[in-house]
Amino acid sequence: MKRISLFFLFTLLGLRWSLGQTADSSAYRFPLDLPPLLSATFGELRPGHFHAGLDIKTNGKTGYKVYAIADGYIYRVKVQRGGYGKAVYIKHHDGKISVYAHLSAFAGDLAGYVKRKQYEKQRFFIELRLNENLFPVTKGQVIGFSGNTGGSFGPHLHFELREDEAHPVNPMRFGFRVPDTLPPRLVDLWFYPLTDSSVVTEGNKPVQGVLEKQQGLDYRMQAITAYGAVGLGIRAYDRQNNTWNKNGLYRISMFVNGIKTYETRMDRLDYGRNRRINLLIDYPRYVHEHVYVQRLWKHSLANLPVFTQLVKHGIVQVEPGKTYRIRIELADFEGNTSNVHAWIIGRKPGKRFEKHPQTYDGEVVDVSWTKGADLGDDAVRVHIPRHCVYDSTKIALVEDYRSFDIGRPDIPLNRRFRAAYSLKDIPPAKKKYAYLARYSERKGRYYFATARRVRDSLILNTYNFGHYKVFFDSIPPVISGLNIRNGQWISRWHYLRFRASDKQTGIKSVEAYIDGKWILTDWDPKTGKAIYDFNDLDFAGSKHKLLIRIKDRAGNTTEKTLIFYRKFK
């Protein structure tokens, strides 16, 4: 009987959400006719940014109708290589903006309008700003179809609600709720000595807490000894009913001896300060282990809107002979909570830890938040601007044969730095094939680094310190899977299909022409698939010439030409 009651409760909640009839807001409806199941929540920690919306599951499929949540007008449309892929942006009468991303296709007249603009500009990837009178929408109108385009890792709808273009807000605050009776779960807890004189368990490095026992929703950690300024960090996740995904938390609160000293809530974000998420997490641990530990103290430059309570920046000043009772409350949006209990016992260290200065190779400069630097020579020149690094640090540039190291990869950056690598010493026959790649220590391999070719130099603008090396790519990309043979009649064919691939640097562009006229190929960079709809254009006669041209990111080009027969009229 209990199972039946829960089933009806979840069904009722899902129906209530999908129809938009919630206590918080009856102005909005759910953007899909599907149960409200999420694969990601608002404010989740991501590389260099917060997740700015809800990722709504679509049963692992594409093509579901996507609906406008309220009256308004479409003011922006985007087709992007990565990021949001195909996306629709709607301004509503209450001033808010809704965003629908990773679509497989646009709907109705909008689809035709976007295609016409793509043909006018002869570009598949495009961004359009639209007049408010061009595409008015009503609540419940179909504006697109769910997909997996752009930087998506599987079929879903990414849905956002924004105050304005720069400030996304948590959709759950405005009626978009999910069935959720499950409390957050702890993964691990960390203790950090924050100054040269701070100590945690007789050492000056971060220490992972040890779980003593768990009772229901409470976790109890073994007591630790410490001295001086100490910060805590936590890794945890939340789940909603009927899903397996490990999602982010809505609220994290820390109490020291009963006083709330730290709290974050994922209610509102600021795109202009998104990169400062790297001050909210243990960034070196993310770089080396790819895990997100949220710091429960505030860096002086972490001016993020997620902080709602701070006492002494959340730092625990541990004195000898005193005991500090720590309680960390983890909460999801529905108010389900779990608690982590820890104790810090103040103890003066038995020995003094001397700071050993780090040794550096190569050219070294001092940089800080207010001080940039220039370093290098004719082979490699590096410019680090002001407001690039958050903390005062030394940056070394080490040059080697066709490679260079700049800084450490676990130093977070607020702005891009520029590196210019000279190609003058590379033989002319190889020069045009040169490109830069960055080494990932965690994955143990090199990755293509986007750089501009300016005369005899590769100019790199990037957020990533680390090791860079010059490679050469002279192998052209490959065209495969073409569904037309030379000399074939294809009057019954609806689509032209082929694949574009390149193993070394990846595909930069895909173009196709019929009888010398540019045709629109819907190209998916993730799969390499390209599709052209033969209904787009008419061509005279029955004999036609097809040209496919593909370029990789090193500049190598492959062309394929064939003759086919088709009557278009």
Q: Are 517 and 539 in contact (CB under 8 A)?
A: yes
Name the 3-class secondary structure at 112.
helix
What angle (nearest 5°) sits at the alpha carbon of residue 248, between those of residues 247 and 253?
Answer: 145
pTM: 0.91
pLDDT tens-digit readout, 526-556: 999 999 999 999 999 999 999 999 999 999 9
Burial of 217 (0-12, 13-18, 19+ CB in 10 A): middle
Q: Number of helices (H) and strands (E), helices first, in the chain?
A: 5, 47
User: Are 147 and 155 spatial neighbours (Cβ–Cβ below 8 Å)?
Assistant: yes
Whole-number mean pLDDT of the chain?
93
Residue 355 — very low, low, confident or very high, per pLDDT cuts 50/70/90?
Answer: low
Contact 515, 568 (CB under 8 A): no
Quick one: pLDDT at residue 24?
38
Cα Dmax for the chain: 93
CA distances from 303 to 91, 205, 279, 311, 412 (A): 28, 26, 10, 15, 15
The answer regarding whether domain 478-565 maps to CATH 2.60.40.10 reads: yes
CA distances from 162 to 102, 146, 465 (A): 17, 20, 33
> 564 near 546, Cβ under 8 Å?
yes
The CATH code belonging to domain 363-472 is 2.60.220.30
Q: Which residues contact residue 414 at a Cβ distance below 8 angstroms, ignoring those fewer than 6 apart?
A: 275, 276, 301, 387, 388, 389, 390
Q: Which helix (H) or strand (E) holds 209?
A: none
pLDDT at residue 201 above 80? yes
Specify which residues 16 forms β-bridges with.
none
For residue range 144-154, list pLDDT tens digits in order: 999 999 999 89
Token pair of 182, please? 């499950």
Give the architecture-level CATH label for domain 2-174.
Answer: Distorted Sandwich (2.70)
For residues 389 and 413, is the Cβ–Cβ distance under 8 A? yes
Q: What is the pLDDT of residues 298-328, one digit of tens each?
A: 999 999 999 999 999 999 999 999 999 999 9
**25 or 62: whose pLDDT is higher?**
62
Considering only CA atoms, which of 379, 394, 406, 558 is closest in space to residue 478?
Answer: 558
**What phi and psi values does residue 310 have, to the nearest 5 degrees?**
-145, 130
Instruction: Give the C-alpha separation, 463 to 275, whole Å.
Output: 10
State the pLDDT at residue 8.
39
For residue 31, with 0-12 CB atoms within 10 Å meaning exposed, 13-18 middle and 19 or more buried, which class applies?
A: buried
* Model pLDDT, residue 22: 35
Quick check: 84 and 156 in contact, CB under 8 A? no
Q: How confident is the model at residue 12 (pLDDT cuts 50, 70, 90)?
A: very low
What is residue 275's DSSP assignment? G
With b for 16 or more beta-carbon neighbours within 10 A and e for fewer, the 150-159 pattern comes to: bebeebbbbb
pLDDT at 102 over 70: yes
Quick one: pLDDT at residue 569?
A: 72
What integer is the mean pLDDT of 129-137?
A: 96
Amino acid at site 358: Q
pLDDT of amino acid 396: 97
Domain ranges within the chain, ordered by starting residue: 2-174, 185-346, 363-472, 478-565
The alpha carbon torsion through 419, 423, 424, 427 (nearest 10 deg) reads: 170
* 323 CA to centre of own chain: 41
